[in-house]
Amino acid sequence: MTKVDETIEQLRANVNNVRCAELCSMLDDLGFRIRNAGGAHKVVSHPDLKGFRGTDFDCGHGRNPTVKPVYIKKNVIRVLENWKAELEAING
């Protein structure tokens, strides 16, 4: 199982309880860059994915809140699935 598959599996298994710091760490491990876009909003990019326009998610409020499940399902998992081959080539 690849690192990308493992990340997708972890996110699917725990979609309602993924903490912001945990998601940022998972994406960082795959080479993504996460930047703050005001408030709890995060914008995700990847320097090595040609044609990838980025995605985003909202961490909600609090110290280390859970990410809203809709962002996990519709933004993060979808990106990982759509760019899986390229991410695997980059991450070995």
- Could you read off the pLDDT of 33-48 as tens digits, one per residue? 999 988 888 999 999 9
Phi, psi of 21 (to 5 degrees): -60, -35
Instruction: Read off the tokens for 8.
Output: 């997708």
| DSSP string covering 49-76 | STT---EEEE--SSSSPBPPHHHIIIII
pTM of the model: 0.91
- Could you read off the pLDDT of 6-21 as tens digits, one per residue? 999 999 999 999 999 9
Alpha carbons 86 and 8: distance in angstroms, whole number: 15
